[in-house]
Every structure is written in C-alpha cells, then in structure tokens.
Amino acid sequence: MADLKEARVPDIGGHDNVPVIEVLVKPGDRVEKEQSLITLESDKATMEVPSPFAGVVKEVRLKVGDEVSEGALIATIEAEGAAAPAPAPAQAPLSSQQAKAAEPGSGKGAVDEAAPQPPPAAPPASSGGGGGSGGGVREARVPDIGGHDNVPVIEVLVKVGDTVAKDQSLITLESDKATMEVPAPFAGVVRELKLKVGDEVSEGSLIAILETAGEAGSASSSPRRGEGRGEGAASPDAQSATGLPVSQGGPKAAEPRTVQPGNPPEGDVRPQARPPFDGKLVMPGDAPYASPAVRAFARELGVDIHQVKGSGRGGRIQREDVSTYVKHALASGARPVQGAPVAAGGGLNLLPWPKVDFAKFGPVEEKPLSRIQKISGANLARNWAMIPHVTQHEDADITELEAFRKKLGEEQKSDKGGDLKVTPLVFQIKAVVAALKQFPQFNASLDETGEKLVLKKYFHIGIAVDTPDGLVVPVIRDCDRKGLLELARELGEISKKAREKKLGPAEMSGGCFSISSLGGIGGTAFTPIVNAPEVAILGVSKASIKPVWNGKEFAPRLILPLSLSYDHRVIDGALAARFAAFLANQLGDIRRLLL
Ligand code: CAO
C-alpha cells in the first residue's frame, strides 16, 4: 500500500544553513532507497543526501540556493509498501561525529565507542612517546571516511618542505558520491609525502610524515578515534556525511607505530597505485569538477564555477584556474558577479535555466549527453559568452577550382587506382594558410591575462568533424609544408579516426585557426563559434551555381559561401573583411595558392 512520507535532511554533523547546490529529482520521479535527492555543499565537503525510502516523488520542497539544516523537508514521497523504514533523523545517514569526520578540521571521531578503534597517530619517532609536548616525526593518516575503502586521491595539496597548520587540507579524496578534503591532524613541516594523485586510500592509509615542533597535536589529532556522543551505536543504515554507508564493524584496530622518515614501518597501510586517473570531467549531477575549497574560493570571489575551465587532471578546476578566470574577466572588461548564486546563470548573472516538467505536455524520453557533447558544450558556451563575435560573410567563385579538383580526383583514381578523396576542403586549408601568412593577427591567441597577443609562426589548422557522439576538432599540423594530396590523405585519416573515437588529446591540440565545413551537407551561411584560444574560424557552406554578372551578361558560376567569425577584441571589422576577400581571391584563382 502506498504511504505518503517525508524525506528530510538527516544529521549533517550539526551544521546549519548548508546550501543546496543541486536538486537531483523532480515530481513524478521514481526513486530507489538511497538514491541521491539533493547535493549539499559546505565549505569543506560536498555531499549527496539519499532518499530514506523508495517511492515516487510527489513534491520537491527545496530548490538550488536554499540553505538547510538537519530536519529540513526535502520532498514528500509516496513510499512503496508499509515496510519502508521511517525517515526519522535518528535513522539518518549520519551521526554528528561521522559528519564531522568527513568534515575536515573537526578532529572528532566518527565511529562509535563500541567499534574497534582506528590507528591513532604515531607518536614522535624520536621519543616513542604518545602525543607529548616535544617535537618529532609523526604520521598523518587518513581518518575515518565512512568505512570506505580504496577511495581515489584526486589532489595532493601540499609538497615536501611545506609548513602546514593543524586542520590545513593535505589531500582531496573523491568517491562516487562526494569530494572531501583530509586535514592535517597536527601542525608541522611535511618531511615525506606517502601518496600521489590516483592512489586509492582507506582509513589509516599514510598520507605524509610531518615533523612537528614543540607542542604535538592534541588527542583530536589522532585519526578519527571513537568519541560516541551517548546515542549508542550508529544505525545499521547509517551513512557518512558523504552519503555513503558507514561500515558497521568499524575500522580495524592498529597498534601505534614509530616511523623514521623515508622508512615506512613494516605493514604500513600504503595505498596501492592504480592506473592513471581516468579523466573524469564532471561530478555526479554535472556539478563542476572541483574540490570544496576551490568552490568556496570561487564563491568568495563571486565567480560562477560553472564558467571556469579546469586545467587539472581530467579537467579538474584548481584554485589557479579561478584566479586566472577572474584576471581574464577583469582584463576583458567583464566582472565576476558578487554573490551570484551557484547555477544562477553564471558570472553573467543570467536567469537560471528554466526547469520544465516536459512530461506534463506529452510523452518524452531522456537521453544523457555524450561525454564529447558535455565537454564541447561547456567550451562552446564559454567561447560564445566570453568572445565578442562578429561574422563576416563572403562569396568565393570556385568554378575553376572545382574543375581542377575534379580532374585531380579522377587522376588519383585512374593513375593510382586509389580511393584518395580530394574535397574542396583541402583547397580551403591551403587558402587559409596563405591568408594567415598575409594577416598574422589571425594566427594568434590572447594570453590568459587578455593583455598580450601571442603570434604563432606555425600553421596548424583545426578541422571540425561531425561524429555520432558530437563535434570534435582534430588538428592538421604544418599545413604550410604539405601539398594538396598530403592534406587530402591526412584529412581522410583524421576524419576516420574521429568517427571511430580514436583521436588522442595531442591530435586535438595546438590549432591556430579552425575550419568548420558544412559544405557537404548544405546551407548558405552560418555563424561558427570561435574555438578559443584561437581568434577566428572559417565556416564553409554548400557551393552552388549562381548567375554572376561578368560585365556583359550573367554567367553561371559556382559560388562558395564563406562565413568568417572572429574575436572582435583582437580583429577589427576592416581587417576581417580584407582577410575574407583575400581568401575568396585565393580560392577564385588557384594559381595564387602556389605563390
Ligand atoms: N560545397 C559543395 N560540396 C561540398 C562542399 C562544399 N562546400 N564541401 C564538400 N563537398 C562535397 C564533397 O566534395 C563530397 O562530395 P562527393 O561525395 O561527391 O565527393 C561531399 O560534399 C562530402 O564531403 P565530406 O563531408 O565527406 O568531406 P569534406 O572534406 O568536405 O569534409 C569533414 C570532411 C570531416 C569536415 C566533414 O565530413 C564534416 O564532418 N563536416 C561537419 C563539420 C561540422 O559539423 N561543423 C559544424 C561545427 S558547429 O556545430
């Protein structure tokens, strides 16, 4: 029998007013028990709040930007069967201690008194004593992380020689549900780092060896020793602040050990290396891929983190990326919006994206965007929003070029018996190279401060290729040094590779200027988006026979429409008109391509 129940925010470590950064369900959705309903983000941790029972969402009572505390109503859910567990906070995902455990800096234990204890911090190596007042070498270990094992390290935030304060973040971990920073349990100087990005860790894994001076860390500096708060054991359903289940048995006990720098003790819980980090670009629910501290930093500066491009591994947004974004925004005249709410339309302070229940109007089907679409979509949106675009249209008379191209194609087939396809695009590549040489401003990029133009002395041309998974732009290198046939061969190869998803990142980087040819499909003109940090792109539409006045009469000519989009911060309209006219001339008289 169906039963209307309330899903509420569980114990989130006693924190109040934690912002909702994502709402992951809508009315009508069927949710499983423990399926995430919302994402919360404090300044130290991002966590998803799971549904306490399965059922159909009747009403969602929160929206992005709301701030919640324990007990806040998330949604009403028509729960299935009477046997569903009650959503009382006592049964909630997390005890205060556990939430604080996931919240760096708390220094509180996360497991119940009854549970076996995790390994305490090692005593100073020199003294062998525990937690006394003398300086020494001590181990910083991974605290209770909700009983999870093999959680990947996605950032190492300190390096050997750094002086760290107690509670300063040492590493960032990311499970499939949450990102969390692990703080130093005591102040000291990093003598040795014991793990790297990509390693997987569990409670007790050794992070670093710190040399502490004078006062050693307090009792709370030991990794998550149990400190029950008198409520008894955590519920069997209990989950960590990460929204992940807490192991009921608790972590394994371990003896305190003494270590010497550079000489890890026997039986050390060293994380196992794993293959390189798999290049994940977005967090669950498409939240930007950044640590909580970086997000907090972005918020402080009033930057919408969705607008920031990550330079870290797998596209991860780092602190420097936020700074660079701000510098660039200031240099280009835009200003980050102070206090703009997350997902409220970006640094441009636009309206939030409309949330519509399309199913109300008719049958619908949901199809997730491909990885390529997500990546290129984010880039296109940034480029379109940040670059002042103008598109210059021009016609090229390619009647003669086309006659030559056909002849060349036939020769290829008959002489070589091959299947090399010589399309108009290779002539366009050659013409573009000639134009870039003539107008070096087009073969340039603005640096990240927006104050300098970097002029390139090489001629690598990006070609937009349409694939079943979305648009990719492989780059043909050194086009100035290649002949038409070589370009035709390479174009055929990269298009094939692109469609077979075999292009590597190196083959899609280093471009100077891009060409987007829709000529094989149709159209008379379009406005391509500049592929930043390039400053211009050529759009090519379908050539067609048109009557052209030759001074005496209208003659049928094959006309190729060109659409040149450019960054108006770098290129003036007059220069763009000259560039486009030059291109048309080159294509109109192929002898010029030989010059
Ligand atoms: N006018 C008329 N015909 C044209 C033409 C033009 N401007 N350009 C190409 N053609 C013809 C070719 O000659 C070929 O004819 P045949 O089949 O008779 O030989 C046919 O159209 C198909 O060409 P093609 O598309 O296979 O080859 P291409 O070299 O012109 O283009 C590539 C290669 C990879 C760029 C293209 O296949 C592609 O993916 N284009 C889409 C790019 C895109 O999506 N851009 C949009 C970006 S913004 O979203």
**How far apart are the C-alpha atoms of 475 and 503, rounded to whole Å?**
10
Task: Confirm if 80 and 4 have CB atoms less than 8 A apart.
Answer: no
Map 200-233 to HEC letters: EECCCCEEEEEEECCCCCCHHHCCCCCCCCCCCC
Rounded Cα distance, 94 and 112, in Å = 12
- Pull the structure tokens for residue 394: 């021009």
Is a pLDDT exceeding 90 seen at residue 434?
yes
- Please tell me if the CB atom of residue 514 comes closer than 6 angstroms to any atom of ligand 1: no
Average pLDDT, the chain: 76
Residue 439 CB contacts under 8 Å (≥ 6 apart), including other chains: 575, 578, 579, 582
Which top CATH class is 387-594?
alpha beta
Which residue CA neighbors atom 8 of ligand 1 most closely? 519
pLDDT at residue 327 tops 50: yes
Residue 237 in this model has a pLDDT that exceeds 50: no
Q: In what order do the strands lie in the sheet with 3-8?
A: 3-8, 73-79, 55-60, 30-31
- Give the single-character DSSP code of 87: -
Q: Report the Cα–Cα distance between both ends of the chain, in Å, rounded.
A: 82
- Beta strand 55-60 pairing with 3-8: unpaired
CATH number for domain 135-213+279-287, candidates 3.90.420.10, 3.40.50.1820, 2.60.120.1440, 2.40.50.100: 2.40.50.100
- What is residue 126's predicted lDDT score, i.e. its pLDDT? 33
DSSP 140: E
Mind listing the pLDDT tens digit for each residue in 6-49? 999 988 877 788 888 888 899 999 998 888 898 887 766 677 88
- Would you tell me how many other CB atoms lie within 10 Å of the CB of residue 1? 6
| Residue 394 clears pLDDT 80, i.e. is over it | yes
Nearest to 202 by CA among 151, 265, 164: 151
| Residues 292-360, CATH architecture | Irregular (4.10)
pLDDT digits (tens, 9 = 90+) for 442-475: 999 999 888 899 999 999 999 999 999 899 999 9
Q: What are phi and psi of 317, to 5 degrees?
A: -85, 130
Among 64-73, 125-134, 231-240, 526-535, the minimum mean pLDDT is found in 231-240
| Separation of CA 352 and ligand 1 centre (Å) | 37
What is the enclosing helix (H) or strand (E) of 429?
A: helix 424-438
Q: Average pLDDT for residues 192-215, to the nearest whole number?
A: 87
* pLDDT above 50 for 395: yes
Q: Residue with the nearest Cα to atom 23 of ligand 1?
A: 520
Percent of the chain exceeding pLDDT 70 equals 72
Q: Which helix (H) or strand (E) holds 60?
A: strand 55-60
- Helix, strand, coil percentages (3-state) for the chain, rounded to 5, are 25, 25, 50
Q: What is the 3-state secondary structure (H, E, C) of 7-42?
A: EECCCCCCCCCEEEEEECCCCCCEECCCCEEEEEEC
pLDDT computed for residue 99 by the predictor? 35
pLDDT tens profile 501-522: 899 889 999 999 999 999 999 9
DSSP 8-state secondary structure symbol assigned to residue 486 = H
Q: Does the structure show a pLDDT above 90 at 479?
A: yes
Cα 400–Cα 402–Cα 407 angle in degrees, nearest 5: 100
Please tell me the distance from the alpha carbon of residue 585 to that of residue 595, in angstroms, as a whole number: 13
Contacts (Cβ under 8 Å, ≥6 apart) of 128: 258
Asked about 328 being catalytic, the answer comes back as: no
Tens-digit pLDDT profile for residues 368-379: 999 889 888 989
Q: Which residues pair with 514 in a beta bridge?
A: 462, 537
Nearest CA to ligand 1 atom 24: 520
* Same fold across 3-79 and 387-594: no
Say if ligand 1 is within 6 A of residue 543 CB. yes
> Who wins on pLDDT, 375 or 178?
375
Least confident of 29-33, 50-54, 120-124: 120-124
Give the per-residue pLDDT at 415: 63
The residue-averaged pLDDT of 290-302 equals 73
List all residues 6 or more positions away from 354 whose beta carbon is below 8 Å from its beta carbon. none
Which fold would CATH assign to domain 3-79?
OB fold (Dihydrolipoamide Acetyltransferase, E2P) (2.40.50)
Higher-scoring residue by pLDDT: 129, 29: 29
Q: How far apart are CA 289 and CA 305, in angstroms?
A: 9
Query: Which tens digit of pLDDT belongs to each residue from 76-121?
Result: 999 875 444 433 333 333 333 333 333 333 333 332 333 333 333 3
- pLDDT value at position 526? 98
The minimum-distance atom of ligand 1 relative to the CA of 467 is: 39
Q: pTM for the complete prediction?
A: 0.51
Q: What is the 3-state secondary structure (H, E, C) of 314-379?
A: HHCECHHHHHHHHHHHHHCCCCCCCCCCCCCCHHHCCCCCCCCCHHHCCCCCCCCCCHHHHHHHHH
Does 122 have pLDDT greater than 50?
no
Q: What are phi and psi of 210, to 5 degrees?
A: -115, 140
> For residue 290, what are the CA distances in angstroms to 119, 174, 242, 295?
30, 10, 16, 6
Selection from 533, 538, 540, 471 nearest residue 503 by Cα: 471
**Helices and strands counted in the chain (H then E):** 8, 27
Q: With bands split at pLDDT 50, 70 and 90, how would you rate the model's confidence at 177?
A: low
Site to probe by mutation for ligand 1, drawn from 425, 475, 526, 538 as the one with most ligand atoms within 8 Å of Cβ, is 425
Q: How does strand 465-467 pair with strand 470-472?
A: antiparallel
Give me 504's structure tokens.
């590597």
- pLDDT reported for residue 247: 27
pLDDT band at 147 (very low <50, low <70, confident <90, very high): confident
Ranges of each domain in the chain: 3-79, 135-213+279-287, 292-360, 387-594
542 in contact with ligand 1, CB cutoff 6 A:
yes
Considering only residues 439 and 287, tell me which one the structure prediction assigns the higher pLDDT: 439
The helix/strand/coil state of 74 is: strand
pLDDT of residue 16: 83
Which residue's CA is the nearest one to ligand 1's atom 49?
471
- Predicted local distance difference test score (pLDDT) of residue 392: 98
* Mean predicted confidence (pLDDT) in 407-434: 87
